[in-house]
Structure 1
Amino acid sequence: MSQYNQSRRKFVSSMLAMAGGSALPFSLNLAAMGSAAAQNASDYKALVCLFLNGGNDHFNTVLPTDPESWRAYQQLRTTADGGSIALPGVGASGGVLPISPTNAAAGRSFALHPSMAAMKTLFDGGRAAIVANVGTLVGPLTLAQYKAGSAAVPPRLFSHNDQQALWQSVQANGAGDFGWGGRIADLIAANTNSAFTAISTAGTALLLSGQKVRQYQVSGSGPKPIANLDDKLFGVPAAANPLRQIVTADSSEPLFKEHAAVTARAISSNATLSSALPPAGAGGVPDPAPYINPNTGVASVNPLALQLQTVARIIAARGTLGLKRQVFYVSLGGFDTHDFQRANQADLLAKVAHAVAYFDSTMASLQGADMRKQVTLFTASDFGRTFTSNGDGTDHGWGSHHFVVGGAVKGRNIYGTMPVTGVGHNLDVSSGSLLPTMSVDQYGATLAIWFGLSWTQTADIFPNIVNFDGRNQAFMNPA
């Protein structure tokens, strides 16, 4: 049924596109019919997806530290030849950082990676939560069903590109054209200017692909104009530069006509956004503090923090741009840690913690306004990794732990099912790779409900959600 509904939506979209301008009012009415509550909203909300490209090793990110768990952890993260990717324990030099979830089961204790001191501060302060063992699922699945092949599983597990696409689209057949962030933006329909509803600082993101809303891309440092558009070019004075006319000229050829329309729209949008943004640094949105590499002690600029600074600048311009709801996509690569995991992940997680803490502090006083309850950042990644080490790193897994950060988050808690530490348990599909106990559909739907969507709308966006109980995982405070 879900696949049929997807095909029907694509058919209707195609018919509207073929009908041309006369179909546009009907298309807009469809959006309005599905989002009356959002149209009347006077507040502002933003979702910010932080995608960890490559598949983050969650077992060294969030760690159970009770004695039984820690013994199993130390043993299984050490190879027969003595190599180890295990981290030092609580209290040791450079050891893991203890946290105290308010909902921790009796006898269990937890910690974060040593590089995540800034994330620990957010967690301890109640502005961050951990969502355990999230992954792509079609429906509830047991280990016996997985091994027997007696229940549906997501297509092409353990593949980077396929699982990134499935995390961002959650389409029933695993090959969706639309992302769930873009579809949320389609249905919320709350902005006067829809051009800046879905924005990526990290290139094209499937997550932001909507049926009506077009994602807008900026660089990590902000919007970039078409080069030489208004400058002297090949000896031609700026005033006589014909480049703008050339790239926006109308044509009777459909392809050229569409290219000119897209280019003209890009030029106009860039001018609008650039003029609305407050500056970066003094007098505007503050610059991030220097990032200190935990391995070398060398200070540098954190590219992820710069992406989040750009997000903050755009949020600061929300009033000028007529925006009430936005979805953002930022990313950091390098998490495919088959080798050199101890050093590489320490650097990567330190960048994540540094950038997220900077973003939280910036939202606390964004041009005089505390926006933390209105902006929620959440992490996503291709998949988790194996518990057992390949010698110097880990291999592709499935379920993984994630962070949700913001003033609307029910913080200082771990949501979902934190698995036992080890291998051979009822969630171990191979080498400690986790069978997820929370679907991406449930994770995304919980965020979508906070954002303002109804359950009917979330079922349209997340086609597998009807297969699960506990659709709302309750890690967000009600709006």
Structure 2
Amino acid sequence: MNQANSSRRRFLGNLLAIAGGSAVPFTLNLAAMGTAAAEGATDYKALVCLYLGGGNDHFNTVLPTDPTSWNEYVRIRTTNDAYSIALPSLTAAFRPLLPIAPINSQGRTFALHPSLQPLKDLFDAGRAAVIANVGTLVQPITKAQYLAGSASVPPKLFSHNDQQAVWQSLQPENTQGVGWGGRLADIMASANSSSTFSCISTAGNAVFLSGRTSQPIQINGTSVPAIRNLNTNLFGATPGNNSFRNIIAGDYSDLFEKEHANVVRNAIDNQVVLSSAILPAGAGGVPVPGNYVNPMTGVSEANPLAIQLQTVARLIGGRSALGAKRQVFYVSLNGFDTHDNQRATQCVLLAQVAHAMAYFDNVMSTLQGTDMRQQVTLFTASDFGRTFASNGDGTDHGWGSHHFIMGGAVKGRDIYGTMPITGLGHDLDIGSGALLPTTSVDQYGATLASWFGLTATQIADVFPNIVNFSNRNLGFMG
């Protein structure tokens, strides 16, 4: 039934596109469906998706450490001295695990990866939480149903491209191409005086930010570069820049040329607005992130993820000039596909994640003299989890995984959802310790959407599978 509903929505969207101008009144009515929620948006809120590209190994990120769990962890993940993927214990002399004390301990004890000290500090301070065993689901499913093929599952499980698409859009690659971050922005668009700046990526193109009407703006690096030679002499001739502008952004009769010129013209206009609105980096604006210490080399290095989040903070600082009350951002860090050399690779990546999150939390605490942490929520996502069993010196593609949420509105210092049994062969192990998810991406996103200001009806439109789950709000947002 959900597939049919989704197909009907796509059919209507295609019909509107074909109908052109005659469909505009109906299009406006569709846009007005979000007005009820958006009109009440007098405050500012932002969601920041931090995507861990490649599939983060959650088993070495959040670890149960009660004796039964830890003994199984060591037994299964220890191979030999050279290639073992098991982490040191809580009492290890070098880089021990970092204990956390969640409010809901579920009768167990837990710890974080040794590289996550800044994130542990946020957790202990109540501004970060863990969501256990999240994954792409169509409906609740048991291991028996999965093995028998008697219940619907997301398409093309364990495929990077497809699961990235399903996580971000709830559809496989090369289908609808509309992300749930973009759909949130569609519904809340009327809260902004200009919907142009509702969705912004600092990590290139992302289906997560593509809406039915909202389209993402991409900003790479720390500035908003303009098309060169638009405002300078071109080939030594003063009027050359005007001719150049007319060529790339003029009015054309051919539909393809016309559309291309519209895109270029919008890019030119948006660059001018963003350049004047974005806060400067450094003195008088958003502090430049300090280096993180590479845990494998001990060398102080620049953190590319922190630089992305600095750009997000600079854009949030320019929210008034952009006329924004609701914004969705996308940042990412790649390299988590750890089939080999996992301990060293993940050690460095998680250090970057924790350093960047702590930097962003600190910046939000005093942005332009205002504590913005209640109004900005960051959450992690990834292709999938990984297998519990080692493949030698790494892990293979899994399904469910653990994730972090951070912000002043987060009910922190807790673990939400059910932390699976540690080991192999249990009721959630679908092979080599890959986890059958117990919390869906729809539930995860719906909880964030509710905080963002969407009604239950609007949430059901954004997350079509949410009707299959009894618990539609996980309760981690205040």
Which TM-score band applies after superposition, normalised by the shorter structure?
A: over 0.9
Quote the Cα distance in structure 1 between the aligned partners of 2:80 and 2:99. Answer: 28
Which letter maps to 1:423? L
Match of 1:274 in 2: 275
Task: Write the distance in 2 (CA, Å) between the matches of 1:250 and 1:362.
Answer: 44
Give the aligned partner of residue 403 of structure 2. Answer: 402
CA shift, 1:8, in A, is 2.4
Deviation of 1:240 (Å)? 4.4
Tell me which residue corresponds to 1:321: 322
Contact 2:155/2:172 (<8 A) preserved = no
Per-residue displacement from partner, 1:174-213 (whole Å, max 9, x unpaired)? 9332100001111112111111001111111111110111
Q: Is the contact made by 2:163 and 2:172 (CA closer than 8 Å) also made in structure 1?
A: no
What is the DSSP-based 3-state SS (H/G/I as helix, E as strand, rest coil) of the residue aligned with 1:242? helix
Distance 1:80 1:424, change over 3 A: farther
8 Å contact 1:230–1:239 — kept in the other structure? no
Displacement of 1:19 = 3.7
Distance 1:174 1:409, change over 3 A: farther
Cα deviation, residue 350, structure 1: 0.3
Aligned counterparts, 1:393-432, within 5 A: 393-432=394-433
Please, what TM-score do these two structures have when normalized by structure 2? 0.96
Contact 1:170–1:176 (8 Å) recurs in 2: no
Name the CA shift for 1:391/1:18 in 2 (closer, same or farther; >3 Å): same
1:366-381 alignment to 2 at 5 Å?
A: 366-381=367-382
Q: Distance in 2 between matches of 1:82 and 1:341?
A: 12
AA matched with 2:154: P
d(CA) in 2 for partners of 1:415, 1:258: 47
- 1:89 is aligned with what amino acid? S
Matched, 1:185 2:198: no
Query: Which residue number corresponds to residue 210 of structure 2?
Result: 209
Whether the aligned pair in 2 keeps the contact of 1:295 and 1:346 (CA below 8 Å) is yes
| Matching residue's letter, 1:336 | D
Deviates more, 1:273-282 or 1:19-28: 19-28
Q: Is the 1:232–1:241 Cα contact (8 Å) retained in structure 2?
A: no
1:113 maps to what in 2? 113
The CA distance in 1 between the partners of 2:453 and 2:39, in whole Å, is 10
Asked if structure 1 preserves the Cα contact closer than 8 Å seen for 2:55 and 2:384, the reply is: yes
Q: TM-score, normalised by structure 1?
A: 0.96
Once the two structures are overlaid, the 10-residue window that deviates more, 91-100 or 327-336, is: 91-100
Equivalent residue of 2:430, what SS? strand
What per-residue deviation string (whole Å, max 9, x for no partner) do you get for residues 98-157 of structure 1?
000011022x10000000000000000000000000001110110011111111111111
* Contact 1:171 1:462 survives alignment (8 Å): no
1:217-296 to structure 2, matched below 5 A, reads 217-237=218-238, 240=241, 242-296=243-297
Deviation at 1:245, TM superposition (A): 1.5
- For 1:377 and 1:431, the matched residues in 2 are separated by 31
2:444 aligns with: 443
Say if 1:129 and 1:412, in contact at 8 Å, map to a contact too: yes
Q: Are the counterparts in 2 of residues 198 and 215 from structure 1 also a CA contact under 8 Å? A: yes
Partner deviation per Cα, 1:291-347 (whole Å, 9 max, x = no partner): 211111111211100110000011011111110000000000000011111111010
Contact in 2 for aligned 1:231/1:241 (Cα 8 Å): no
Q: Secondary structure at the match of 1:140?
A: coil
Q: Is the 8 A contact 1:154 1:174 kept in 2?
A: no
Output the CA distance in 1 between the equivalents of 2:174 and 2:247: 40
SS state at 1:391 partner:
coil
Amino acid at match of 1:266: A
Number of equivalent positions? 476
> Is 1:168 aligned with 2:196?
no
- Measured in 1, the distance between the counterparts of 2:32 and 2:364 equals 30
1:24-57 deviation digits (Å, cap 9, x = unpaired) = 3542332223331322321000000000000000
Task: Give the aligned partner of residue 131 of structure 1.
Answer: 131
Q: 1:172 to 1:302 in 2, by over 3 A?
A: closer
SS of alignment partner, residue 402 of structure 1: strand
How far the C-alpha of 1:241 sits from its partner, in A, is 5.3
Q: Retained in 2: the 8 A contact 1:441–1:464?
A: yes
**Given that residues 166 and 175 in structure 1 are in contact (C-alpha distance below 8 angstroms), is that contact kept between their aligned partners in structure 2?**
no
Distance apart, 1:13 and its partner CA = 2.4
Aligned to 1:347: 348
> Who is 1:300 aligned against?
301
For 2:457, give the aligned amino acid.
Answer: T
Please give the alpha-carbon distance, in whole angstroms, between the structure 2 residues aligned to 1:95 and 1:238: 66
The 8 Å contact of residues 172 and 464 in structure 1, kept in 2 or not, is answered as: no
> Comparing 221-230 with 406-415, which one deviates more in the overlay?
221-230
Letter in structure 2 aligned against 1:280? A
Would the aligned equivalents of 1:99 and 1:112 in 2 still touch at CA under 8 Å? yes
Aligned positions of 1:9-28 closer than 5 A? 9-21=9-21, 23-28=23-28
Q: Which runs of 5+ in 2 are unaligned?
A: none
Is the CA contact 1:172–1:463 (under 8 Å) kept in the aligned structure 2?
no
Name the amino acid aligned to 1:366.
Answer: L
Name the CA distance, whole Å, in 1 between partners of 2:82 and 2:353: 30
In structure 2, relative to structure 1, the CA distance for the partners of 1:309 and 1:80 (3 Å cut) is closer
Unmatched segments (≥5 aa) in structure 1: none
Task: Name the structure 1 match of 2:68.
Answer: 68
Change (3 A) 1:175 1:22: closer
User: Does the Cα contact within 8 Å between 2:232 and 2:241 map onto a contact in 1?
Assistant: no
Aligned to 1:469: 470
Residue identity in the other structure for 1:98: P
How large is the Cα RMSD of the aligned pairs? 1.6
Residues 1:278 and 1:238: Cα distance change in structure 2 (over 3 Å):
farther
Shift of 1:15: 3.1
